[in-house]
Structure 1
């Protein structure tokens, strides 16, 4: 039989025996995926082919011809997040990206060069931000910065000079061999000549008199129609032939934010800020009142548009007279000057905002809240609401598209009903929000057992931790209320509880986790305790409740600052504090203070025994299918073994695509093993190796990729196994090729045998056992076809 016939036989056998199986997520095991918000731009530049927007977290390229979109972010090669300014150099095809931490990326055709020079200026203790970029030649760029002025050679990727001015420079241009920069003290210029020491700020000339005010502040500056235009004291001036002349003054409450001149018109962007009287306090406060754009022609006649902008940040005109607008109003928009029409714009399929607080997943559907609290646990007044990722599509729910949510701010925790298609969201502003059948309902002190504080914020129904128990009853932390524990029973009834003695003084309950005994574990934000454990007893009987306040004085807690509580697959409670992790393995004995104090594990760190994650501020804990702990801190992520004694992996901004080291929450998709990570700068995910497994193998164990083709590089995953199953892989003759233990419900094979050789073409059998001995110990659960 020929090799071709053998391959055909194997393929036919495989197709008749097992179905092809595919992964349920679009990233491979060990890969990262960014979920950044691309709803609008903050700055804009252009090449011949593209309009290029900057967001805080990445770059959006919009093709001028077909309006197709592509993005660039840290996962794809950028060095940072927090973009401040961008500028495109047409001649050398270089995109200059300046970040808020003063790092610069030069995005070239085949590489991205990162410049750290400004960050390393050790003699500068203050402002190093980059405020403006001007291309003064085909190969160089001038920078206006918080410390002064610098110049970069874009071909050699070096700084050619830096001038320390002692005052921040806000705008910069070069014209007729002179460099001009604007500051809060006025405009300075210097001759760009070999006999002038540009780096000595003493050689720079201050521009005064000749039409300039005697004492003035200068901001944006551009060259238009061979003349210099500059914003001085919030008025537009022309500077030409050594004379300055005021040509335009904004209306009251309006401020000129920027000038650009890349087309036929000088584009002027203005924002509005006005004072109103607060009806509650009677105090004056400033509120935003929109914005506008002006287009000045070469004769300095201008036209104004308003409807296409709201809170302008930047705008440029392309060669077709289309003005591309960046502002804080959502969506990428443009305005056609000649046709006087506004393109209402678009946003990318992405989260509504970078803000994220809590994550929850069920049946592959991700839900995200966009709220938050201050360090003092006060309101942030954030309106962004809720996002969802369902079947690859992002949606948002807030006051912009759901008027019912208009009175709700600071969405915090999420609880998904175990059996019904119902989701609850806690808010810190106006109670509990229920989502069912695409409709929202709100529960507060007026229509439920939830209450308000009798002392402060008396009009606000604050809710925090929420969780379902095994009977599908929803438990709610209602901080500062006289009865701070409420329960919405699955039958529709409601009940609330005051905290009994000896912990009756505790009212500020926040995070909530329910253990296998049905006991409620609340994180407490009061100095007297870190955790409150509550047992309601018989729901029909009043007065049989039990409670225990756990503190650093009566347990292994080293601090009362408890941030999170998570139950693992063995039923143990892992408590994240500002000083590491405490583990409670007490079961039903939690109310026995003498026997249950918790454990601070001692592990080796760099060869030195120390408490587990001592001094780490633990913000989130998630448990994967192998019972490993994904621990989010303010210094990144630690992945720990099931018992916490081994560090499996460490991820931070230095060694991974994480956008920020401050981890707000972690949630793991039980089916796919994808780990979703909420950071202070946005959402990112990582495809882990573990999934959740049951007591027996699933009927449809999935292998992916399958078949394994010659060009495949990476692991092969076998999913749907019994938890921690022993797995053997043999060839068709029964010869053992590989043996491993499943990580929860998923085994990983690198496609090689024990000698390191890649598996040959053929069919391989996957045999799975279960540690619980609930099935035939050597049953074939899957087959894998290799095609080489």
Structure 2
């Protein structure tokens, strides 16, 4: 029975209608980095990295739009709001254009530039959008393209380089009868109403230089070039504004509202009047340290600042007396490294280390905590200096206490969302790798996991005692891995994942030694069993990136070249020749093949029904049956709100069944139907109830105990369905044993626990 979500995109020659996924998905994007700010009739539009939000100037309400609403999830490079057409236009690094109708909230994808084979991919970036006479003048890395904002179709394209070659255009503006273009080789101009502007000869290069921005202010053209100076052009001469000091960094935004000229670079915002007197300079604002700017928008006595880290900051103009932060709820960043879920909570860290387990360059990125669909962001602090945070473990006996692994600094302890202690070489048994310099401290803590006794098992790469445990009593113990990895410091010897079986065996994923099975209760010299390549364990490679022990005690292994399963994980020390098995599936054409052959598996998760969720580095997410022989769904960027097919991590909330998917471009979640088993049948319920005409999905029965017997009969007692639950939820396809749809009527759901002691009866009405 197919339970996946299969969605089609309807493609025409020039555009694609964006599709909404709001019924089953949630977007958890970061809106902190605001690329551009646009003004609508009654709203501010803020474009972030790959999503946008609106801020109602009257009600102060914020509304978010992302891949869940139909956006592509690609990197936004520019944005523009057409007041006349009531269209918000997003331009992307890859040449995509998305047109958002402010009235209907429909999204139209314009793929003409993306699909143009004569334009190289590195030339398709959209840099700036200007409107004139109903046409958008889109500055790109190849030239200027015109787009009719009312007819929603392309007009001419101007290749203004030598002999009509492609040329990087950063920005355009119009003054009088001329259109001006700032490019990387000079300022160009042409008569804006010339019907033959597709002829490069109609464009005059007025002045050479590498110009980053251009704007018409009053009767003068103003420009900023790569030497970070402001120039003016009065129609005949180009003059440097020597009274204005050189800007600290390259230009980010240059615009005018007719009264003021706004110049934005990464560290400051400058606002000038018509006499080029600086009315306001902003580099700091109270309560917002280390400000970095992308854009700015003046509106009467207010200025809206687009920042890299704080969303939009609204302050008064011309004096910054008050500051209001405009920022949708969300995590700190979009590049997700690792997720950890407990019921109704999610922890997010941003890492990272590369494929070779190298943490450099070191990152200071903070932590995000989702609780009851509200985010708390815990920023990096110099007080604890915990860098490259790569994993979170929540204390099962005190869920307000977590330990965050740092792949450089040790372990950060957080209590009630407040960092309280950094465990390192000075206050714990954690060890630095030893390169012969006693002043160099590098503690590479990877994944950690609590066992059933409340002891926290800790992996540390590049040291002899790579396995450590922090006992619930506070005592530390260390265990050497040199029995199986002779030189942990040298070579490719990263330790990434740890899984603990019901029997207490620790399974460890390694970079170049396959899977290590570790049992500390055995005598030294006999504590390890290794699953390796070929006859040493049948792994496709010894570079293992994912592990999970499922509900039947089988070990699932994800590598950079595919997936394997070792059946009966707790018996591995009794197996004289342990071998993992590959999964063979039969394609629709009848041809057998190996599941996920040669694909990099980044994570494996098991839901309440023992089904498998598989994350890959390039192919999205696979939702598979418990034995992985049947594919329920394959989610990709093309048929779901995934912003990319590069999946870094998956986590499942066992209570709600929600599937969290962390990618390199953002976090989204899918409302799954499989939950963990309940202790009793007290809260069993079925939905939708009633099942109304036209409903084409499955009936969901939730609140089940594990291995409960479920029978469904009509009101006369005729059996139409029977199964045994796996986990806390099961689905019924509303058919009589798969043969035909059941008729209208009342159906009884009879449930008995595995031992037969507890029973429950509930009803559902089906209306055809």
Name the TM-score class by shorter chain.
0.7 to 0.9
d(CA) in 2 for partners of 1:503, 1:586: 25
**Kept in 2: contact 1:359–1:665 (CA 8 A):** yes
**Kept in 1: contact 2:378–2:417 (CA 8 A):** no
d(CA) in 1 for partners of 2:731, 2:223: 63
2:390 maps to 1:416: no
Question: Which runs of structure 2 are paired with 1:179-218 in the superposition (5 Å)?
Answer: 179-194=179-194, 196=196, 198-208=197-207, 215-218=208-211
| 1:482 aligned partner | 464
| 1:584 aligned partner | 566
d(CA) in 2 for partners of 1:410, 1:377: 11
2:138 maps to 1:131: no
| 1:516 aligned partner | 502
Q: How many residues align?
A: 720
2:578 maps to 1:596: yes
**Kept in 2: contact 1:536–1:544 (CA 8 A):** no
| 1:70 aligned partner | 63
**Per the alignment, do residues 521 and 587 of structure 1 end up closer, same or farther by CA in structure 2, a change over 3 Å counting?**
closer
Alpha-carbon offset, residue 648 of structure 1: 1.5
Question: Normalization by structure 2: what TM-score?
Answer: 0.88
Partner-residue secondary structure (3-state), 1:207:
strand
Query: Over residues 548-597 of structure 1, what are the superposed CA-to-partner deviations in whole Å (9 max), with x where a residue is unaligned?
Result: 33321412111122111111111111110111101111434424675311
Of 446, 455, 470, the match for 2:452: 470
2:277 maps to 1:301: yes
Alpha-carbon offset, residue 743 of structure 1: 5.0
Alpha-carbon offset, residue 219 of structure 1: 1.6
**Per the alignment, do residues 521 and 681 of structure 1 end up closer, same or farther by CA in structure 2, a change over 3 Å counting?**
same
**Kept in 2: contact 1:537–1:545 (CA 8 A):** no
**Kept in 1: contact 2:553–2:570 (CA 8 A):** no
Of 362, 365, 368, the match for 2:345: 365
| 2:95 aligned partner | 102
d(CA) in 2 for partners of 1:709, 1:610: 41
**Per the alignment, do residues 377 and 346 of structure 1 end up closer, same or farther by CA in structure 2, a change over 3 Å counting?**
same
**Kept in 2: contact 1:105–1:114 (CA 8 A):** yes
**Kept in 2: contact 1:589–1:596 (CA 8 A):** no
d(CA) in 2 for partners of 1:305, 1:564: 51
| 1:431 aligned partner | 410
| 2:655 aligned partner | 671
Query: Over residues 161-207 of structure 1, what are the superposed CA-to-partner deviations in whole Å (9 max), with x where a residue is unaligned?
Result: 112333311111233343221112111122234553x2232331110
Alpha-carbon offset, residue 713 of structure 1: 8.1
| 1:444 aligned partner | 424
Question: Which runs of structure 2 are paired with 1:638-677 in the superposition (5 Å)?
Answer: 638-677=622-661
2:138 maps to 1:115: no
**Per the alignment, do residues 161 and 496 of structure 1 end up closer, same or farther by CA in structure 2, a change over 3 Å counting?**
same
Alpha-carbon offset, residue 65 of structure 1: 1.8
Query: Over residues 607-640 of structure 1, what are the superposed CA-to-partner deviations in whole Å (9 max), with x where a residue is unaligned?
Result: 3222121021100110011111100002101111
2:50 maps to 1:57: yes
**Kept in 1: contact 2:584–2:595 (CA 8 A):** yes
Which has the larger displacement, 98-107 or 732-741? 732-741
Query: Over residues 520-560 of structure 1, what are the superposed CA-to-partner deviations in whole Å (9 max), with x where a residue is unaligned?
Result: 1111123xx2222221125xxx7365113332141211112
Question: Which runs of structure 2 are paired with 1:149-298 in the superposition (5 Å)?
Answer: 149-164=144-159, 165=161, 166-194=166-194, 196=196, 198-208=197-207, 215-232=208-225, 233-247=227-241, 248-251=243-246, 253-271=248-266, 291-298=267-274
**Kept in 2: contact 1:426–1:433 (CA 8 A):** yes
Partner-residue secondary structure (3-state), 1:222:
strand
**Per the alignment, do residues 502 and 132 of structure 1 end up closer, same or farther by CA in structure 2, a change over 3 Å counting?**
closer
**Kept in 2: contact 1:707–1:787 (CA 8 A):** yes
d(CA) in 2 for partners of 1:298, 1:29: 47
**Per the alignment, do residues 436 and 244 of structure 1 end up closer, same or farther by CA in structure 2, a change over 3 Å counting?**
closer
Query: Over residues 90-147 of structure 1, what are the superposed CA-to-partner deviations in whole Å (9 max), with x where a residue is unaligned?
Result: 111111111222100111233322111111221222321011111122x210111111
**Kept in 1: contact 2:303–2:314 (CA 8 A):** yes
**Per the alignment, do residues 758 and 656 of structure 1 end up closer, same or farther by CA in structure 2, a change over 3 Å counting?**
farther
Which has the larger displacement, 481-490 or 704-713? 704-713
| 2:15 aligned partner | none
d(CA) in 1 for partners of 2:149, 2:97: 11
